[in-house]
Structure 1
Amino acid sequence: MSIKTVSTAKSHGGVQSVHSHASEACGCDMTFAVFVPPQAEEGPCPVLWYLSGLTCTHANVVEKGEYRRMAAELGLIVVCPDTSPRGAHVPDEKDNWQFGSGAGFYVDASEAPYDTNYRMYSYVVEELPRIVSANFPADMNRQSIFGHSMGGHGALTIALRNPKRFRSCSAFAPIVHPSDADWSARAFERYLGPNQADWRTHDACSLIEDGYRFSEFLVDQGKADSFLEDGLKPWLLEEACRKAGIPLKLRMQPGYDHSYFFISTFMDDHLRWHAQRLGMLEGDVT
């Protein structure tokens, strides 16, 4: 459970910090960021997990997500893991942005040589929560999760597989059916093997088809997103949720793309939405 503090900075009355540790799940050193709001001085605060997208690290949302002001106002701890294992001994393809470093897809790989390090599902669901619980003033009985793109995929699948742990789940431009998207299907085959039946537990639409349920979802998607038609396809999640009776608030945002300009615009909405479901606000907030 030992962690090393890489940096700390005061922000909006709270503390933004970055930490590293030796990960058993990923077999390498991992880095993560945590924002602790000022309310933590009075007692443990709810935890909101943010999962980042392809090519990102923990730093992208920390530097461009603009979440701290609202998180400090609401009293939310925000935890931002890295997106993959990293290191000279970790299998990688440096010229392929859709696979390897920065592209862990939040799966537990079953295929060699990736199965030794690419265990991001276990890292996010099991190992990192133990570290956060042991080292930060976190109320682990109140947790929610959200993410962007590949991280939106991760948030949806992790929530569906752990509905009793998370009070709420939302996403910005998520990959909703990675088995059907070129940029993820190729990675899934190498991480999980050629049998697509083995991919289903890491695919939100497939999980819903197979009977997994979550209370509700909030999804924001930019209409000007260049990945909308080929990789994201939010209408597939909409149809899966409709058939399963899962409430989904899908907001198609005119003019917005896939970038952090889009994410930061609607970040406050998502934080308030989660805070309401964590018992910190009353009434509908979106």
Structure 2
Amino acid sequence: MKEVKVINSCDGKLISLSHDSACNNCEMALNIYLPKQYYSNETHSTIPAIYYLSGLTCTPANASEKAFWQCQADLYGFSVVFPDTSPRGESVPDSKDEYDFGQGAGFYLNSTKEPYVKNYQMSDYIHKELPKELENYFQDCRLDFTKNVGITGHSMGGMGALAGFFKLYPHYKSVSAFSPIANPSAEDCPWGQKCFSRYLKDFKSESLEYDPCELIGKVKPKGDNDVKKILISVGTKDPFYSTQLYVDRILEYSKGTAWENKIEINKLQGFDHSYFFVVLKSPACQIPCH
């Protein structure tokens, strides 16, 4: 892992990094924000991390420049990791005429289908490889990238955050999602149908492994105290609300599970699919991890 650029942001620093990924067989880029607490001599507390998964077409720069989590990170004392949304490079299979498939649209899954299987191992990259790479790079006991961690994301990233939260439960201490693609394996979700059918060899069964609605009933917490609250925010004028996202379905799928009555969906009047409401709701979504 190597440092590409460091800039001051709020009272901390935003660091751009790159490294060779064993999972994706290519060079991966990421941004990370280290809060003011890390640079202060007045505190020795361990700093937890929030992993923010971005949506379609995004790079590590989108959320770090538009969502502006830095102020909240300084307020509550956590770092924010902004991974890329897919593998990149000339040797990585792509579909340049499609914004919602290929590079910039990795869907946070492990591909099992040629020619994508070699590079598109984003689930293992996000949840396994990247945290260890960060830990090895910084080698600082004040920074926790593997244990006291939360996860969040927007759109495709919201789907990835929820799916990762359920698949690895109880690894992530908090989860929130902004305009998530909640039921991507459904026949009426074009984004999910396109990407799952082309990334996954056994589309019908494997797609369920990355669908938050399908995963929610598979997790069996030991008791009520182990059930983490799920926070979801979506704009009422989101153009994808009833054609791609289907956020309300997760409430239906939660019935009879440990998460019944544990999911809070905030519907923001007048907001669309952009980052404006992410900035507005980020404070509430980060507190549970701290």
Using the size of structure 1 for normalisation, the TM-score is 0.92
Pairwise CA distance, 1:26:
0.5
Pairwise CA distance, 1:210:
3.7
Selected match of 1:8 from 3, 6, 9: 6
Selected match of 1:59 from 45, 58, 61: 61
Inter-CA distance 143–73: structure 2 relative to 1 (3 Å threshold): same
Aligned: 1:196 with 2:204: yes
Larger helix fraction of residues: 1
Question: Which residue is equivalent to 1:152?
Answer: 158
- 144-153 or 261-270, larger mean C-alpha shift: 261-270
Deviations 1:87-125 (A, max 9, x none): 001000001011101000000000011000000001001
1:272, 1:149 → 2: CA distance?
A: 21
Question: Which residue is equivalent to 1:184?
Answer: 192
Structural mapping, 1:222-237, within 5 Å: 222-237=235-250
Residue 178 of structure 1 aligns to a residue whose secondary structure is coil
1:211, 1:245 → 2: CA distance?
A: 8
Aligned: 1:161 with 2:167: yes
Inter-CA distance 212–152: structure 2 relative to 1 (3 Å threshold): farther
Ranges in structure 2 where 5+ consecutive residues have no aligned partner: 222-226
Selected match of 1:208 from 207, 211, 216: 216
CA contact (8 A) 1:54 1:83 kept: yes
1:179, 1:157 → 2: CA distance?
A: 12
Deviations 1:203-251 (A, max 9, x none): 1111124446662210001110000001001111111123313010111
Structural mapping, 1:1-286, within 5 Å: 3-41=1-39, 42-43=43-44, 44-136=46-138, 137=140, 138-139=143-144, 140-180=146-186, 181-211=189-219, 215-246=228-259, 247-275=262-290
Pairwise CA distance, 1:135:
2.4
CA contact (8 A) 2:159 2:212 kept: yes
2:255, 2:76 → 1: CA distance?
A: 32
Pairwise CA distance, 1:264:
1.2
Deviations 1:106-147 (A, max 9, x none): 000000110000000010011100011122342232100000
1:269, 1:66 → 2: CA distance?
A: 14
CA contact (8 A) 1:18 1:34 kept: yes
Ranges in structure 1 where 5+ consecutive residues have no aligned partner: 276-286
1:262, 1:196 → 2: CA distance?
A: 34
Aligned length: 273
CA contact (8 A) 2:169 2:219 kept: no
Pairwise CA distance, 1:165:
1.4
Using the size of structure 2 for normalisation, the TM-score is 0.90
2:64, 2:281 → 1: CA distance?
A: 15
Pairwise CA distance, 1:4:
1.4
Residue 163 of structure 1 aligns to a residue whose secondary structure is coil
CA contact (8 A) 1:90 1:117 kept: yes
Whichever residue aligns with residue 89 of structure 1, its letter is S
RMSD: 1.4
- 66-75 or 221-230, larger mean C-alpha shift: 66-75
CA contact (8 A) 1:34 1:79 kept: yes
- 134-143 or 199-208, larger mean C-alpha shift: 134-143
2:115, 2:129 → 1: CA distance?
A: 21
1:238, 1:133 → 2: CA distance?
A: 36
- 132-141 or 199-208, larger mean C-alpha shift: 132-141
CA contact (8 A) 1:161 1:212 kept: no
Pairwise CA distance, 1:263:
1.2
